[in-house]
Amino acid sequence: MKVQEKLKQFQLERKAILATNFYNYETLKGILEAASRVQAPVMLQLTKSSIDYMGLKRAVVLARQGLEDYRLDGCIHLDHGGSVELVQRCLDAGFESVMIDASEKSMEENIETTCKVVEMARPYGANVEAELGYVPKLGQMQDSSGFTTVEDAVRFVRATQVDALAVAIGSAHGFYKSTPRLDIDRLAEIHAATDVVLVLHGSSGIPHDMVREAIRNGIAKVNLATEIKDTFMRALKQTLQNSDEIDLRKVFPKATDSVVELLCDKYKMVGSAAE
C-alpha cells in the first residue's frame, strides 16, 4: 500500500502514523525495536541536518536494512526539506515520502514551490507533504495570528494538490515552556473543508489526550523528534555519570532502551500499535 493510501486509511479510522526522526544507528534501532514490539507501521524521518551528518546513501541503506531485519511496514520520509534540490536528491535515493517546507515564504511562493515538488514526485509515486501557517521552530515565539486558516488551507490544497498538509494549530518544534493548547475547533474546520491528510508537527511534550483529540479531528501523521533526542541523551548522560565504562557498545544500549520505552507508549498513543 502506498504511503498516501496508508495515511488516508488511518485518517478515516481516526488513528495516526507516528513519524519518528532518527539521528544515528542507536536512535534508529530504538525506533525499530519499539515498532516491532507493538507491531506498528513506521515513518523514518530524516532532516537535512541528519542527512549531512550521516550521508544520504548511508542513512538510506541503514534504514532500509533495519526495516527488512525487523520485518516492519515502513517508509523513509524527508522532514522539512528546505529546497527543491534536496527533495530531488531524496526522491532519487528512494524516499517514498518527502516534505517541502516553504511555510516561511509568502503564500504565492509556498504554492509555487510546492507545485514544483508535487510535479517532481509524481513519476516516483511519492507522498508529498507541505506546511502552511506558522509552526514555531526552536527559539521562535508562538503566536496565534500565524495559525493556519480554513480559507488558506482550502486555497493551498486546491492549488497544489498536495497529499498531506502540516497545519499550525498551536504546536511548536522543541519543548514547551508551558502546557500547549491545540486549537481543535480550527483543526476540525480545516478537516471538514479539505480532503487532505493533516499532519501535526511538534508533538513532543503535548499531553496524550490532546494528541488523541487532534487525531479524532483529522490528524493522520504525528511527528516526533525532540523527545527522542532528549530521552536518549538524558539516559546516556546518567549512565556516563555513574560509570567509568569506555566501551560504547555497553553504554549506548541503555540509552537506546530508553527510546524504546518512550516510543512503545507513543505508538499506543496515536492508535497505530497492534498490541
Q: Answer yes or no: is 223 a known binding residue.
A: yes
Start-to-end CA span in the chain (Å): 21
Q: Answer yes or no: is 81 a known binding residue.
A: no
* Ranges assigned E (strand) in the chain: 17-21, 42-46, 74-81, 97-100, 127-132, 164-167, 197-200, 219-224
Across 94-120, b (16+ Cβ under 10 Å) vs e yields ebbbbbbbbbeeeeeebbebbbbbbeb
Residue 224 makes CB contacts below 8 A (sequence gap 6+) with 18, 19, 20, 21, 203, 204, 263, 266
Q: Answer yes or no: is 101 a known binding residue.
A: yes
Q: Answer yes or no: is 218 a known binding residue.
A: no
Q: Which of 52, 69, 79, 265 is catalytic?
A: 79
Other Cβ atoms less than 10 A from the Cβ of 190: the count is: 28
Q: Answer yes or no: is 171 a known binding residue.
A: no
The dihedrals phi and psi of 259, each to the nearest 5 degrees, come to: -70, -40
Q: Answer yes or no: is 174 a known binding residue.
A: yes
Q: Answer yes or no: is 203 a known binding residue.
A: yes
Q: How many CA atoms lie within 13 A of 15 on its CB side?
A: 17
Q: How far apart are CA 36 and CA 261, in angstroms?
A: 12
Q: Answer yes or no: is 5 a known binding residue.
A: no
Active site residue 79: yes
Q: Answer yes or no: is 226 a known binding residue.
A: yes
Across 60-72, b (16+ Cβ under 10 Å) vs e yields bebbeebbeebeb
Other Cβ atoms less than 10 A from the Cβ of 168: the count is: 24
Binding residues for Zn(2+): 80, 101, 131, 173, 201
Binding residues: 80, 101, 131, 173-174, 201-204, 223-226
* Residues labelled as active-site residues: 79
Binding residues for dihydroxyacetone phosphate: 174, 202-204, 223-226
